[in-house]
Amino acid sequence: MSYYSHHIFFCTNERDDGRPSCGQCGGELRDYAKKQIKSLGLNGKGKVRVNNAGCLDRCDEGPTMVVYPEEVWYHCATKADVDEIIASHVRGGVVVERLRM
């Protein structure tokens, strides 16, 4: 069994060459997700972990978030998107198809 039931990674990469980068808002969304997971009592061993990630190489489609162990990639641009993914995917086991990459 995994240490966590779900591991959520947010791309927080900042490109300096003018191309789009998830870091423009990925860090803010990661912080929000961490806060929400904690407030719902979903954090800790056997539960959910939220981390930042370096470049996931999909910034053109981002901000990018990936949920393991299901390996589901999401375009996650707002706090409402984060809330929907937590409620539907993390808590309910149903992938949010409209946000799937």
- What is the domain extent for residue 60? 6-99
Domain count, the chain: 1
Question: Does 87 reside within a domain?
Answer: yes
Q: Considering the entire predicted model, what is its pTM?
A: 0.90
Q: What is the pLDDT of residue 26?
A: 56
Give the confidence band of 60 by pLDDT, cuts at 50, 70, 90: confident
Helices (H), the chain: 26-39, 79-85
Residue 55: both structure tokens together:
């470049």
12 or 90: whose pLDDT is higher? 90
Asked if residue 35 has pLDDT above 90, the reply is: yes
Question: Does 27 reside within a domain?
Answer: yes
Q: Work out the widest C-alpha separation in the chain, in whole angstroms.
A: 42
User: What is the pLDDT averaged over residues 22-42?
Assistant: 86
Q: Are 101 and 66 in contact (CB under 8 A)?
A: no
User: What is the pLDDT averaged over residues 33-60?
Assistant: 90
CA distances (Å), 52 to each of 49, 93, 94, in order?
Answer: 10, 22, 23
Question: Does 85 reside within a domain?
Answer: yes
Question: Does 1 reside within a domain?
Answer: no
Percent of the chain, pLDDT > 70? 95
Question: Does 35 reside within a domain?
Answer: yes
Question: What CATH number is attached to the domain comprising 75?
Answer: 3.40.30.10
Nearest to 90 by CA among 32, 35, 37: 37
Residue 85: both structure tokens together:
């993914």
